[in-house]
Structure 1
Amino acid sequence: MISSFRGVRVLAATLAVSLPFVLSACGGDDTSAMDTSAAPDCPTTPVNVVVSVDQWGNIVSQLGGACAEVTTVLAGSAVDPHDYEPAPSDAADFEGAQLVVLNGGHYDEWAAKLAATSAADAPVVNAVELSGGHAEQGQEHAGEDGHGHAEEGQEHAGEQGQELGDEGNPHVWYNPTAVTEFAEAVTAQLGKLSPDAAGYFAERHAEFAESMKPYDEVIAAIKAGATGRTYAATESVFGDMATALGLVDRTPQGYQVAAANESDPSPADLDAFLQLLADRGVDVLIYNTQTEGSVPEQIRSAAEQAGIAVVDVTETLPSDAKSFQDWQVAQLDSLAKALDVRT
């Protein structure tokens, strides 16, 4: 059960209702920053790919082009992937899949189970496993002693007596290195499954890398101009990106533990967060807009009253985002503006 702290984790009301759908470069949906209008036809039969969530489904569609029929189970979802209860139709989607793409890290275990039963012979690309199965440096994770701890100067959370997820931060689509590794792994698997289209997939990957240049450039600009600047966050969703940007997380550790355990923070932990903001102890507040609840709303209000810039982020692609790249660059541009960094 999702706590009131996380609200109902509803994804913004502008997003579509959760329904499986198919993305294909041959279709009419404009889901890619890459120009597919001049892309050659697939030289062979397209590969059947099933993806659990749209954060990765959009990228897979770009990489696969006309040579991949991509079914994304949760696309523009109003349902928390952690708690999604698959329907029989979802199991049917996995039947016949030649490639399965998962986020991993307990984020979409329902999809892993469906893949194991309905697509047992299909290779699996697991984004969390590709990233090492743990949060990047600076993110809290569970140690062997079962208590959360932090690397690279983050405060130890073990004294709180609560565990953080044993996979670390599962939101690895916010990890730039993980995104690069993911694209390479998907391209490699597609080429293995369809050797006659290997050259096509290599070209699509090259085009994808080119389309990611604005993303890479804004990351480099923020890192160069804002390393060491501070932030607090209502959730950990943006954590890997913040680490990659060189930002310092000053979210009170008790609040972080509560967030990781999807529980309400104690009054003392909430007060610590509110005092941090009142004292202007951070440069920005990272706010996940795809949640509801009095706690995050109270935190946002405190930041605004203190004159601290609030940077909105989302967990999934907004309905008006044409691509993963557009989504990420728009958020990073907002962060750069909040930190007064020229991009």
Structure 2
Amino acid sequence: MIGSTRKSRTFVGIAASLSLMAAACGGTENSGAGDRTPAQGDCPVSPLDVVVSVDQWGDIVSQLGGACTEVTTVLAGSSVDPHDFEPAPSDAVAFEGAQLVVVNGGHYDEWATKLAETSAPDAAVVNAVDLAGGHADDHDDHDHDDPAHDDHDHSVNPHVWYRPDVVTAVADAVTAKLSELSADSAGYFTERRAEFAASMQRYDDAVAAIRTGAAGKRYAAVEGVFDDMAAALGLVNRTPQGYQVASNNEGEPSPADLDAFLTLLADRGVDVLIYNVQTEGSVPEQIRAAAEQAGIPVVEVTETLPPGAESFQDWQVGQLDSLARALGVGA
């Protein structure tokens, strides 16, 4: 993210693009000891104690664990940027006794990895970035015109919940770990995994529809949170490389880089602009205004579950549907 687009953690305008999301997502905004999601249904044994760093994964883990887990999500809400979060002693306490810890990994939530090592050294750990096949150190070396830029041979974008293959890998890994930790509940966890897969069908269908109908379409983005999903959809990233390098390193784009972006939009060099509404500052606002003036559709996305998101699936499908409409595809 460029310096002028540090996350504001507000969601002005997101309601219009995610109008299907009406119910709370099993937690409240939190920057302390975490939100404990109550278990649902019947469990044959005592539930496992699970701690998840951020709600992008916390919602998924809660769905997979059901009544056989008690899930504490440390950052459940949008008020704190996970990159900048400084845990309090109460957060360390939340990890104590955890049997499974799920982290995003890379430099996204290093505090969670450290707390797991010190406060829950015996806990099993699922690390999403490791499952993605890399370490999210830097991701400004991608071929920006290559939709396959997330090859597992190099560092990955840390926003791996935007990779459908990683969502599947995390779900499989969590189910496997839960089944190992509670063998008597293995059948229950297998059923929950199957139910999760069924609930993800509309997500899978939306991804497939865009990939079929819009592969090769061009996009630009004010920052890279959505890039891996765009790659999975077969879209071509036309964001000027200098601008994207600055954005990924939280720096200011040079005047030349900004001018290249504005010229790209004025020339209608992209089919859609991806705009993270959890940003603020004059630069992204200027870019959005230029896209709108050129008649380029603007699709709003977020980094974390927005207020009113009923589930991970609803959040993602709402955004994908908005993108499909912008690209003229029936999702």
Does the TM-score normalized on the shorter chain lie above 0.5?
Answer: yes
| Partner residue, 1:210 | 198
Residue 73 (structure 1) shift: 0.2
How far the C-alpha of 1:49 sits from its partner, in A, is 0.3
2-side partners of 1:273 and 1:332: how far apart?
24
State the distance in 1 between where 2:132 and 2:204 align: 18
Distance in 2 (CA, whole Å) between partners of 1:89 and 1:128 is 26
Amino acid at match of 2:35: F
Aligned to 1:31: none
**Where do 1:81-92 residues align within 5 Å?**
81-92=82-93
Pairs aligned (count): 309
Helix, strand or coil at the partner of 1:84: coil
Q: Distance in 1 between matches of 2:2 and 2:259?
A: 19
1:25 paired with 2:30, answer no
In the alignment, what sits opposite 1:119?
A: 120
Counterpart of 2:131 in structure 1 is: 130
Residue aligning to 2:10: 12
C-alpha contact (below 8 Å) 2:139/2:248 kept by paired residues? no
TM-score between the two structures when normalised by the length of structure 1: 0.86
* Matching residue within 213, 219, 223 for 1:225: 213
Aligned to 2:185: 197
The letter for the 2-side match of 1:287 is: Y
Q: Which structure 1 segments of 5+ residues have no match?
A: 27-38, 143-147, 157-165
Match of 1:69 in 2: 70
Tell me, in whole angstroms, the C-alpha distance in 1 between the residues paired with 2:129 and 2:175: 17
Please state how far the C-alpha of 1:295 moved relative to its aligned partner.
Answer: 0.7
Query: 2:49 is aligned with what amino acid?
Result: N
C-alpha contact (below 8 Å) 1:55/1:173 kept by paired residues: yes
Distance (Å, rounded) in 1 between the aligned partners of 2:60 and 2:30: 20
Tell me how far 1:152 sits from its aligned partner: 7.0
Give the match's secondary structure for 2:3: coil
Match among 137, 140, 143 for residue 150 of structure 1:
143
1:110-167 deviation line (CA, Å, top 9, x unaligned): 11111110001111100010110168xxxx836xxxxx3427748x9xxxxxxxxx84
Q: Distance in 1 between matches of 2:58 and 2:271?
A: 33
Equivalent pair of 1:18/1:77 in contact (CA under 8 Å): no
Measured after TM superposition, the shift of residue 243 of structure 1 is: 0.4
C-alpha displacement at 1:304, in angstroms? 0.6
Which one has more relative contact order, counting CA pairs under 8 Å at least 6 apart? 2
Q: Residue 290 of structure 1 corresponds to which residue in structure 2?
A: 278
Q: Determine what percentage of the aligned residue pairs are the same residue.
A: 69
Q: Deviations over 1:58-101 (max 9, x none)?
A: 00000000000000000113111111100111000000000000
Q: Which runs of 5+ in 2 are unaligned?
A: 13-27
Q: Alpha carbon RMSD of aligned pairs, Å?
A: 1.9
Q: CA 1:132–1:152 in 2, change beyond 3 Å: closer, same or farther? A: farther
Aligned equivalents of 1:134, 1:86: Cα separation in 2: 22
My pick for the range that moved more, 75-84 or 249-258, is: 75-84
* Deviation string, structure 1 residues 31-56 (Cα, Å, up to 9, x no partner): xxxxxxxx4x1000101000000000
For 2:145 and 2:172, the matched residues in 1 are separated by: 28
TM-score by length of 2: 0.89
Give the aligned residue type for 2:115.
Answer: L
Counterpart for residue 108 of structure 1: 109
Q: CA 1:328–1:149 in 2, change beyond 3 Å: closer, same or farther?
A: closer
Q: How far apart, CA to CA, are the structure 2 residues paired with 1:224 and 1:245?
A: 8
